[in-house]
Amino acid sequence: MLPLLFDLFALLYAVQSVRTVFALARNWRAFWDPLFTPQDARLAQEVGFFLFIPIGVFLHEVGHYVAAQMVGARVLGFHYRLFWGYVSYEGYLTPLADWWIALSGNLLSALFGLALLAAAYRGRRWRLPLRYTLLYAGQVQSVFALIAYPLFSFSGLFEGDWVTIYNFGATPIASTITLIVHLGVVLGLLTWWREKQVG
């Protein structure tokens, strides 16, 4: 039932993504002119959410796919639906191999979000609409990868990657190191967001 619900949501997401592309094309000149209006900000947020998040999801699944091949699993399928996806695989795997497969997708998601934030901050000479779009996309991607998805994983609705990543009984050292780095990155981002302003 849950995959069907996710597929329905992905379809609605795809429709909104297409609408965002058309809105961007229709307002292209106004979006890039020197005056950055509230309408421009709203369009930048839509671009950051509806066009960048599917890239993050794709990278997430690529991370799982590559990691599964790295540990010798036989990949059965790569399933990508813009807003969600999964990689199916089989084979005898150690708990550490399962941990690595689960972590790799999330690692790419987090790195993508951090790269967007770094680009928004470092590109001070870029036009404000681009920087604002990158900043918004980076914030959404980082919050989802580092906070929301871990919470969803433990919600009981489905068994997400973070249940495997934080299986301290199976991978105590890897899970502990991951937790320390995870908390450090989240705290670092919170500090950075308070201290830095892009604009």
Q: At 151, list the tokens.
A: 């919470």
Looking at per-residue pLDDT, the higher value among 27 and 5 belongs to: 27
Stretch 109-113: mean pLDDT, rounded? 97
Report CA 130 to chain centroid distance, whole Å: 19
Q: How far apart are CA 176 and CA 64, in angstroms?
A: 21
Residues 55-88 pLDDT 10s? 999 999 999 999 999 999 999 999 998 888 999 9
Residue 3 above 80 pLDDT? no
Q: How far apart are CA 71 and CA 68, in angstroms?
A: 5
pLDDT of residue 124: 84
pLDDT of residue 2: 63
DSSP letters of 43-101?
HHHHHHHHTTHHHHHHHHHHHHHHHHHHTT-EEEEEEE-SS-EEEEEES---HHHHHHH
pTM: 0.90
pLDDT of residue 61: 97
**Confidence band, pLDDT 50/70/90 cuts, at residue 198:** very low
- Residue 75's nearest CA partner among 84, 59, 64 is 64
Helix and strand element counts for the chain (H, E): 9, 2
Instruction: Determine what percent of the chain is predicted with pLDDT higher than 90.
Output: 78
Q: What is residue 153's three-state secondary structure?
A: helix
Contact by Cβ (8 Å): 62, 75: no
